[in-house]
Chains A and B, each alone.
Chain A
Amino acid sequence: MTISAILILIAIGCAAGSFGALAGVGGGAIITPLLAIYFHLPLHQAIGISLVAVIATSTATSSIHVERHITDIRLGMILELSTTIGAAIAAVIAARVSRRTIALLFILFLVYSASSMIKRAWTSRSEALQTDIPEYEVKNIPLGLAGSICAGALSGLLGVGGGVIKVPIMYLFMNVPLRVATATSNFMIGVTAATSAYIYYGRGDILLPVAAPLVAGVFAGSLVGARLAPRIRTTYILFLFIGVTLWLAGQMIYKLATGGIG
Chain B
Amino acid sequence: MSENKTSANSERYVALVLRVGAYGSFVLLLVAIAFSLAGIPDAALIFAKVGVIFLMATPTVRIIAALAMYISERDKTMILVSLGVLTIVIVSSLLGLKLH
Contact of B59 with A59 in the complex, beta carbons under 8 Å: yes
Q: A88 — which chain B residues lie within 8 A by C-beta?
A: 88, 91-92, 95
Interface status of A240 (Cβ within 8 A of chain B) = no
Complex interface bits, A65-95 against B, C-beta within 8 A gives 1, otherwise 0 = 0110100111101101100110110011000
How many B residues, CB 8 Å from partner?
Answer: 55
A-B contact count (CB 8 A): 178
Within 8 A of A (CB), among B19-37: 19, 21-22, 25-26, 29-30, 32-33, 36-37
Within 8 A of B (CB), among A202-238: 202-204, 206, 208-209, 211-213, 215-216, 219-220, 223
Contact of B52 with A74 in the complex, beta carbons under 8 Å: no
Q: B63 — which chain A residues lie within 8 A by C-beta?
A: 77, 80, 191
Contact of B4 with A74 in the complex, beta carbons under 8 Å: yes
Distance between B35 CB and nearest chain A CB, rounded to angstroms? 10
How many A residues, CB 8 Å from partner?
Answer: 61
Interface status of A161 (Cβ within 8 A of chain B) = no
Given contacts A198-B92, A202-B96, 7 further A-B contacts (CB under 8 A): A58-B59, A74-B5, A81-B85, A88-B88, A138-B2, A208-B52, A223-B22
Can you list 18 residue pairs at the A/B interface with Cβ under 8 Å?
A55-B55, A55-B56, A56-B25, A59-B58, A63-B21, A72-B2, A74-B6, A88-B91, A135-B1, A194-B58, A198-B93, A199-B99, A202-B100, A203-B99, A208-B45, A212-B51, A212-B52, A215-B52
